[in-house]
Structure formats: structure tokens, C-alpha cells
Structure 1
Amino acid sequence: MPKTDRLFRLLHLIRGLRPPVTAARLASAMEVSERTIYRDIDSLRAAGARIEGEAGVGYTMVEDPALPPQTFTRIEIEALTLGLADVTQRGDADLARAASDALVKILATLPERQQRQAMHAVNMAQRLITPATPTIDMTLLREAMWAEEALDIGYRDLKQERTRRRIYPLALSYHDRSVMLLAWCCKRQDFRSFHVTRIEGYEKTQQSFRPRRVTLLRDYVEKLRARDQACLDGLA
């Protein structure tokens, strides 16, 4: 691992682990020697990080120059911790790790008083039902959406019928019991929602659908509005 990446990783661990964190624990997490940890902490201190502690005692981050100071009201802190905690229970392991890492970074920018408030937030997220964990690589799926690249997928529907189709992946929708992929289906020439747990693999096609994504999403929203309005008209 390059030294720059190692230093960023070390900063992240010191921010997130309960202080004081020992060199032995850091070395184990980093898979390096304790001597390397001592040298890297000296490098971080030379760069401006205020890290208190010493060998045999443990280390505590006092001031982190890598992150700008943040100011939140108490209710904003509650909203942040609640929202990120809910993300960790959405059945998406990559997103859960990202939410946990984001919370660590946010806490590291807060004054000590607000850090304590965040650690003792009064709101909790608890889901009795967690969506099934997808078997496909969600990171690669998101990358295809960010790159606006068409995918060829294998899909098993609710009737257990298998099909192969090309799609334009547009967005992920997180429901109480499932994670859905909203896409434009080239086979059906219409919008479709796919259960990600029923996608049985996919391949990149190198076919870009940029800049159609924004237009397709707008059309989808309009289609939903028209459907909802028709339902309301039927009830009138």
C-alpha cells in the first residue's frame, strides 16, 4: 500500500476507534508493524494533525487538519445519525460501510461537545425486516449508473422464468422488503423495476446512454404522476 494511502487509512482508524487506541491495535488493523505505526503517526503530526498519546499508552485525535470544522444544531446531528443508521439496515453491504465511514468523518469534524451529543443521540433506527442481501456486486452496478452505461442482465422473475435483456440502469430504490433497480428495458421499450436479488449476473456493454438518463428519469416521474392522478380521478 502506498504511504499516502496508508496515512489516510491510519487517520480514518484513529478517528473511528474508541480512544485511546494503541499502536498494537492500529498495526493489527493496518497489517503493518508497530514501528511503521510510530513512524506514520510522526508523519501525521508533522503534517499538522494533533494526535495526543505515546507508545504503550495509546493515541487520541485532538484536531484533524484533513477535515474542515463543521457546525450542526443538535436536531441536525440527530437527523444525520438517524439517517445514516437507517442506511446501514437497507440490505446493501457497500452502502452500509459507506454510511459508517461517513459518520466517522462527520464526527471527526465536530467540536467535542457535539461529538458527545452524536454518540448519545436519542433517535434510533430499528428495522424489523431487512431486505435480502443482493448477490450481485452493487458497487459495479452503481458504477454503471454513474457512467450511464447499458448492461446485459440475466433476470429471474417472480414466476421463476429466466430472460436475458439489455437495460439502461437509472436508479436504485430502497423499499422496506426489497431493493429495486429502475431501468429502461430495451427489450420491452418501457420502464421496468427489477428486484436486485433476482438479477443473476450482468455484463458491461460499453454502450453509453448518456445523456438520456436525465430525460428518462423525468419521463418516468411524469408517468408516475399521470398514474397517480388517474387513480385519484377514479376515486372522485
Structure 2
Amino acid sequence: MRRAERLADIVEIVRDGRLHAARELAAALSVSERTVYRDMDALVASGVPVEGERGVGYLLREPVFLPPLAMSLIELEALSLGMAIVGEAADAELGAAARSLMAKLEGHASVRRRSPASWGFGVYELAQTRAGLAHMPLLRRAIRERLTLAIVYRSLTGEVSERDIRPLQIDYWGRVWTCSAWCELRGAFRAFRVDLIETCTSNGRTFKLEPGKTIEDYLKLVAEELDRQQHS
């Protein structure tokens, strides 16, 4: 279990207003009491109103929730459709998050009173979108941790090449995902279709952001090219 998930689980446990000993939390989360103490320190530092101390126990004095959101029916439909697409097309982690979010939404009394029995649309398997999604967790991690990846890429013309890339951003275009990256083979920015990446592995190297090789630099180049096209 990742730390962020564990912290969320701790909040869910202590939000009942009762005092919970560290050993109880440790047993529930399958971690050591020392880990619980560190997690509690992190929650307090982030502003979560947890009270207590080591050897006594912990409780949550105030509820933790998102501010009230007033959504129209069409906004609920848009959210439902978006989560359905994520559940179909995204990697396992995002798919699970989408299902969890929809379960919370559907469990809300105000939504149950307003939502129709059928939203009026269906989401079917997105075969083209699914292709290559096994690479998504590593690509997302590489963007967060600035990892250089080794990929084998097959272009639309069938040409196969091996490249080391610095992933910078992932974009969804309705049917396919692309990964904007700095390609070390070409010494330039490239947008790779994720479904055309045959293999994707970490080569054990990290990269530092360098002037001229960041996502901001890439987006600026794209904007300048669009501007030239519009005025040519």
C-alpha cells in the first residue's frame, strides 16, 4: 500500500470520533506502530485535525470532506461519462480510482434523488485506446520521478526504432493517448502514440530539467508553429 492510500485509510478509521490506539491502527493497516506515528505526524503537518499522542491514541475532532459541490444533472452526466471512459480506457490504478469515485458519488443521497435510472449512453470497449495501456503506469511514474525510459517504437509507417526518452506529459485525444517527450535519439521533442510503443522499460537513469527540454518549452514550440501556420 502506498503512503497516500494509507494516510487516507487512517483518516477513514479515526473519523468516527473514537480514540484509536497506534497498535490498533498498525494492525488494521498491516504496518508497524512506528509507521503509524510517522503517518500521524505527516497528517498533522498537512493540516488534518488529528488529536492525540503516542501511547494514548488518536482521534479526529472535525470531519474531513470536500466543500459542497452544487452540480447540475448535465454536469453529473458529464462526470459519469468521464469516469466510465477512465474505467474502460485507463490503467488499473486510474480505473480503480474511477470506480471508487463513482461509488462515492452514487452513494450520495442528493445524487440518488436526482439521477435517472439510465444516463442515456453506453460506454463500450475502446480497443484502440486500450492498446499500450500496460505502459501507462510506468510512463506516469517516469513523469513524476523524471525517469529516462528505453522504448521500442513502431511508427505509423511500420518503421521500428529503439529510443531513450524523457517523458514530460501524457495527453488523451479521444481515441489515442500520446506521450510528449524529449527524444535523446533525435535530440528533439517528439509525441509518441502510446499504443505504438511495443516495449517500455526503465533504464535506471534519471534526468534533470534543462532549459530547452521542458514541457513548457515544448508547448511554446507547438504554439509558435500553430501561429506560423495561421499566418502563412
Structure 1 residues 147 and 120 mapped into 2: Cα distance closer, same or farther (>3 Å)? farther
Q: Does residue 138 in structure 1 map to residue 136 in structure 2?
A: yes
- Once the two structures are TM-superposed, the CA of residue 118 in structure 1 deviates from its matched residue by 4.7
Whether 1:97 and 2:96 are equivalent positions in the alignment is yes
Which deviates more, 114-123 or 202-211? 114-123
Matched, 1:230 2:228: yes
The TM-score, its normalising length taken from structure 2, stands at 0.61
Once the 2 structures are TM-superposed, how far is the Cα of residue 106 of structure 1 from its aligned partner?
A: 4.2
Percent identical among aligned pairs is 25
Instruction: Provide the residue aligned with 1:169 in structure 2.
Output: 167
CA contact (8 A) 1:131 1:179 kept: no
> Structure 1: 5+ residue runs without aligned partners?
12-39, 41-64
Q: Which amino acid aligns with 2:178?
A: M
Shift in CA distance, 71/141, structure 1 to aligned 2, threshold 3 Å: same
TM-score (norm 1): 0.60
1:87 match:
86
Output the CA distance in 2 between the equivalents of 1:92 and 1:192.
22
User: How much does 1:191 deviate?
Assistant: 1.0
- The Cα RMSD (Å) is 3.4
User: Which whole-Å CA distance do the structure 2 matches of 1:66 and 1:140 have between them?
Assistant: 35
Output the CA distance in 2 between the equivalents of 1:134 and 1:66. Answer: 42
Which of 198, 201, 209 does residue 199 from structure 2 map onto?
A: 201
**What number of residue pairs does the alignment pair up?**
173
Please give the alpha-carbon distance, in whole angstroms, between the structure 2 residues aligned to 1:200 and 1:114.
42
Match of residue 117 from structure 1: 114
- In structure 1, the residue matched to 2:156 is 158
Q: Is the 8 A contact 2:151 2:162 kept in 1?
A: yes
Equivalent-residue separation in structure 1 for 2:125 and 2:187 (angstroms): 37
Separation in 1, partners of 2:83, 2:144: 21
Instruction: Decide whether aligned partners of structure 1 residues 123 and 231 sit closer, same or farther in structure 2, where only a CA change above 3 A counts.
Output: farther
What is the letter of the counterpart of residue 131 of structure 2? P
Counterpart for residue 72 of structure 1: 69
Aligned partners of 1:131 and 1:176 also within 8 Å: no
For 1:129-182, what per-residue CA distance to the aligned partner results, in whole angstroms no more than 9, with x for missing partners?
A: 653423433212211111111101111112222211100011111123321111
Q: Aligned partners of 2:208, 2:115: CA distance in 1, in Å?
A: 41
* Equivalent position amino acid for 2:83 in 1: L
Q: Structure 2 matches for 1:13-28, cutoff 5 A?
A: none
Which residues of structure 2 form unaligned runs of 5+?
Answer: 13-27, 29-61
